[in-house]
Amino acid sequence: MIFTDLEHFITASFSLLGVTCSPSGVSSFTRELTAYTANYPNGGYEVFFWTYDKGLGKCGSQVFEPLPNTNDPLNVLEQIEDTQDKAIYVLHNFQQFLTGQKADPLVVARLFNLAHKLKTTNQTIILLEEDINLPSFEGLIHILDYGLPSAAVIKAFLKQLVNRLPPGITKPHVGDTLIRSCQGLTIAEINDAVRFSLKKYPSINSEVLAQQVNQFKLAKLKRLGVELSHEPDVKVGGLKTLKSWLARRKKLFACANPKLPQPKGVMMIGLPGCGKSLVAKNIGSSLGVPVMHLDIRSLYHSLLGETEKNLRRILKTAETIAPVCLFLDEIEKGFEAGSSTHDGGVSKGVLGIFLNWMNEKTAPVFVVATANKVNNLPPEFLRKGRFDEIFFVDLPNPSEREDILGIHLNSFDINLSVEQLQTLVDKTEDFTGAEIAYLVREAVTIAYGGDRLCNFEDLETVLGEIVPQALRDYENIEQIRSWARVMARPAS
């Protein structure tokens, strides 16, 4: 727990600490820190909080009364230096004066010298930021992450919130479903979501409340470029090797034994339309966990450092929601090899953050990545052990085409004879799964326009109009197949 670590750092006279925290978690962090430090051994510490607009004030009192003339960065550092009491100073968004466009060399020098001076005192400065990057303080500052609340913290907060509800409002049961819906939100966000829902529906039960909180969470994830994918209506035909490989990892993924290897994830490479994305969405349902669909390109921001900050925030959310499946579609578009020369190194930094997270993550987050163009993938992605396995999804073989046709024909209640089905299997030799799905949908559309049920003749009519991608892009397909023979495992 972060507050236990903070206690060890503070009581060991560490003078400068950094804590990463989302904007909506600032108030809960400060409140918890104030309560926690009051019970430190050998006497508690006073906690002071600083913002640029208000200045420095003491926490814990009913009214926040900032000291005069302390909103200026230099003035607040001078105030800290002149104080001898046992105290912790939380400086919120102070980093802007240490690096970037607003950086002031005098503020940097004053903080650097003050951090060394405070090592012999009972005073600690905490820089509270959404993201911390201070190379000039390397070795002097120690950074911790406040993170998102755990299930235990959420449960305690919800019980406290429910017990304080006024008469006339039904007190919902704080169970696993409600707690699960709150995971991925800060305490402040949970408080807003629950209070809004209870105000809107005074007689709400815990199940409906969980649904309302989930809507808040979905809106938050969408702003971050993430969507929670629903289980697809269409199942995946074929790919038996890949399905068997996934089935063997289902039990291991749900196991909490630290002595057993935790599944990292899988990469699928192949042609567009061969079912990679559909498989990814089905993996979540087979593992019994939600699927977070991350659009990598949506992370990129024009402001310096914002792209990396967005990615860290999403990965942190995934770990909190875990167990979860994190789906990155067409990953080469977000981590394209050589693209860092055109974006000032942002894509290289994003790649480094993601790969480092994959290596060090301990939460049950199963990563599913798909790619269409292997030449655009950075070689770091293809290193052995990065993913548990790399699969090549080729054009469906005859047995798989029969499965795929059966799935789509059955969805429209189309009955064919064995001979007719075999004819379609033979004539769709170079078709992708998406092209087979289009074949059936278009035939149904034609039949409906003619006020009749879809039949074999409609399917044959559409069949003659489709030029498969495999014939239009033969050289690219052969290039991928040649690469896959050495670098990947067949999914079928």
Higher pLDDT, 463 or 340: 463
Has residue 457 been placed in a domain? yes
Domain with residue 368: its CATH number is: 3.40.50.300
Give the pairing type, strands 142-145 and 55-58: unpaired
**Do 292 and 407 belong together in one domain?**
no
Q: Give the pLDDT confidence of 58-104 residue by residue, as tens digits.
A: 998 777 888 999 999 999 999 999 988 899 999 999 999 999 888 99
Nearest CA to 432 out of 464, 405, 465, 453 is that of: 405
Percent of the chain with pLDDT over 90: 31
Neighbouring C-alpha atoms within 13 Å toward the C-beta of 132: 24
Length of the chain: 492
Q: Facing residues of 367 across strands?
A: 265, 326
Nearest CA to 434 out of 179, 155, 158, 236 is that of: 236
Domain with residue 460: its CATH number is: 1.10.8.60
Domain boundary among 189, 223, 257: 223
Q: Give the pLDDT confidence of 298-317 residue by residue, as tens digits.
A: 777 655 567 787 888 888 88
* Mean pLDDT for the stretch of residues 327-333: 86
Strands (E) in 318-383, as ranges, are 324-328, 365-371
* Mean pLDDT for the stretch of residues 122-129: 95
Higher pLDDT, 288 or 207: 207
**Do 356 and 414 belong together in one domain?**
no
* Mean pLDDT for the stretch of residues 140-168: 87
Is residue 12 pLDDT above 80, yes or no?
yes
Q: Which domain holds residue 191?
A: 151-223
DSSP 236-285: PPS-HHHHHHHHHHHHHHT---TTSPPP-EEEEEE-TTSSHHHHHHHHHH
**Do 334 and 216 belong together in one domain?**
no
**Do 254 and 371 belong together in one domain?**
yes
Higher pLDDT, 288 or 491: 491
**Do 218 and 158 belong together in one domain?**
yes
Separation CA 270–CA 374 (nearest Å) = 9
In the three-class reduction of DSSP (H, G, I as helix; E, B as strand; rest coil), residue 46 is classed as strand
Amino acid sitting at position 368: V
Domain boundary among 344, 375, 393: 393
pLDDT at 17 (0 to 100): 96
**Do 133 and 35 belong together in one domain?**
yes
pLDDT at 352 (0 to 100): 86
Domain count of the chain?
4
3-state per-residue secondary structure call for 90-159: EEECCHHHCCCCCCCHHHHHHHHHHHHHHHHCCEEEEEEECCCCCHHHCCCCEEEECCCCCHHHHHHHHH
**Do 132 and 170 belong together in one domain?**
no
Has residue 484 been placed in a domain? no
Query: Which DSSP letter does residue 393 get?
Result: E
- Asked whether the whole model's pTM tops 0.85, one would answer no
Has residue 261 been placed in a domain? yes
